[in-house]
Structure 1
Amino acid sequence: MLNNSDANIATADALTLLLHNQHALAAAIEEVTKWLSENGVGSVADNAVTAMETLDTNARGITDAIMRLRQL
């Protein structure tokens, strides 16, 4: 059984991997958004920008949680 410290490390490691995935998704959405904007599909590009803003907001929350877990 994991002790509290080991559990915190495992949780922080898992959150870090999720955060890396989130950054990769944001980069992909950004590329698609650029293409959409350049090809006259501005309304869809606007929706993609909103999705990226959500990813950014949540990334900050995940980063804060990781930092708190690593300090315990």
Structure 2
Amino acid sequence: MPNSDLLPSLLFKINENQLALEAAIMELTNWVEAHGSAEIADNVRGALDTIDKNEEFIKLTLAVLMTPE
């Protein structure tokens, strides 16, 4: 298997890790908010918005890269 064939799989796994980290950070954010730090929770959610905004593009691009030619 050529190295170029590994790239889509690698990017898929990196994206999967990124989404898992986002979920874990959101759980911590919810806990922080529940314990009286709403401002910090809002700041974290704002930072995580970038992941949400880019998610659809990443999924579509990975689908194209993983489609056999």
TM bucket normalised to smaller? 0.7 to 0.9
> Hey, what does 2:18 align to over in structure 1?
22
- Taking CA–CA contacts closer than 8 Å with sequence separation of 6 or more, which of the two structures ends up with the larger relative contact order? 1
User: Where in structure 1 are there 5+ consecutive unaligned residues?
Assistant: none
* 1:40 aligned counterpart, secondary structure: coil
RMSD of aligned alpha carbons: 1.8
Shift of 1:47: 1.1
* TM value normalised by structure 2: 0.81
Corresponding residue pairs, total: 68
The aligned runs of 1:2-41 (5 Å cut-off) are 2=2, 7=4, 9-41=5-37
Shift of 1:61: 2.1
User: Where in structure 2 are there 5+ consecutive unaligned residues?
Assistant: none
Q: Deviation digits for residues 28-71 of structure 1, max 9, x if unmatched?
A: 11111101110111111001111222112222222111111122
> Hey, what does 1:42 align to over in structure 2?
38
User: Taking every aligned residue pair, what percent have the same amino acid on both sides?
Assistant: 32
* TM value normalised by structure 1: 0.79
* 8 Å Cα contact 1:15/1:66 also seen in 2: yes
